[in-house]
Amino acid sequence: MWGCVLIFVPPSPWAMIYNKRESNYQNTKKSEIENSVTTKRSFLLGMGGFLAVTGSQWCGYPGAGPLACIISAFVAGTGWRKRSSEHKRNNSVISADGVDGDGEEIEDEELPVVQVFEHAWTCLQPVLFAFIGTDLKFELLKRGDMIFLGLLVLAFGLMIRLIVTTCSVIGTGFSRKEVLFVNIAWLPKATVQAALAPVALDIARNLGTAEDIECATRLVTIAVISILLTAPVGAFGIQLFGPRLLPRSN
């Protein structure tokens, strides 16, 4: 529901621009209107996600909040993109290549909001990994069985991931080298593990027994092992095999 509201509130930048032109507001700058709309959309989307997460925890459904964030962002972005495409097709002052009458290229409406959250994620990502580090018990890493179990779970997960990745690109026209590179690029496992593992530990501390807390702590340890192994290997593989497997564009 919140994502549907954000499609129309605040109005699209092009809608505000053309309305102001019709109202003889000729001196209004297009960039100022776009920046204002981007700020409002980013604030409303972020605040809606924050309220969804905190409200779901207060209501006793902690898993509903993150799901609401994903759905609202997807619905809003899809709606912005669709409205922008319809405007490009229907407005007579915009040519087929997406350039308006003033010679300025019109970009998809969701891109500025995406850039805002990309910058926010750049700042918040170190905090996320710092939090998972505080829950790590190094004494568990000294146990050989824990490391072996972590490697076994990681190997099984990567095997399933490679199979699913290969199946997902079937029929896309990719060459074998490109399919191989997609599998290499999808090897790193970091963000999801860093976000979900502490959640399981937090739920165990609030609702579980001592045995549940111990199992959740092991889960965090395995998540850290997967991050430490796959993140650098994936980054190295992308840099090494990217120029060799991907065709060069002119």
Q: What distance in Å separates the CA atoms of residue 190 and residue 231, rounded to the nearest whole number?
A: 6
Query: Residues 86, 123: one domain?
Result: no
Q: Which domain-ending residue is among 99, 120, 155?
A: 99
H-type helices in 135-209, by residue range? 138-141, 144-168, 176-185, 191-207
Residues 53/66, Cβ–Cβ less than 8 Å: yes
Q: Which domain-ending residue is among 99, 134, 166?
A: 99
Query: Residues 73, 117: one domain?
Result: no
Query: Residues 182, 65: one domain?
Result: no
CA geometry: angle 41, 47, 52, nearest 5 deg: 125
What tokens does 118 get? 């990309």
247 three-class SS: coil
Per-residue pLDDT of the chain in tens (250 residues, 90 and over written 9): 766 777 776 665 545 544 444 444 444 556 666 777 888 888 888 898 889 888 887 887 777 887 888 888 888 888 888 877 776 676 644 444 444 444 444 455 557 888 888 888 888 878 877 777 777 777 766 777 777 887 888 889 889 988 998 998 888 888 888 889 998 988 887 777 777 777 788 788 877 788 888 888 888 888 888 888 888 888 898 888 888 888 876 5
| Within-domain flag for 107 | no
Query: Residues 130, 204: one domain?
Result: yes
| Within-domain flag for 105 | no
Write the burial class of residue 192 (CB in 10 Å: 0-12 exposed, 13-18 middle, 19+ buried). exposed
Query: Residues 66, 160: one domain?
Result: no
Query: Residues 17, 138: one domain?
Result: no
| Within-domain flag for 45 | yes
| Within-domain flag for 71 | yes
In 3D, which of 141, 140, 116 has the Cα closest to residue 40?
A: 116
Q: Which domain-ending residue is among 53, 69, 99?
A: 99
| Within-domain flag for 126 | yes
Query: Residues 81, 148: one domain?
Result: no
| Within-domain flag for 106 | no
Count up the domains in the chain and report the number: 2
In 3D, which of 39, 45, 20, 42 has the Cα closest to residue 30?
A: 20
Determine the structural domain holding residue 219 and report its residue range: 112-249
Query: Residues 69, 119: one domain?
Result: no
Query: Residues 156, 133: one domain?
Result: yes
Query: Residues 47, 163: one domain?
Result: no
Sign for the pseudo-dihedral over CA of 92, 95, 100, 103: negative
Query: Residues 224, 127: one domain?
Result: yes
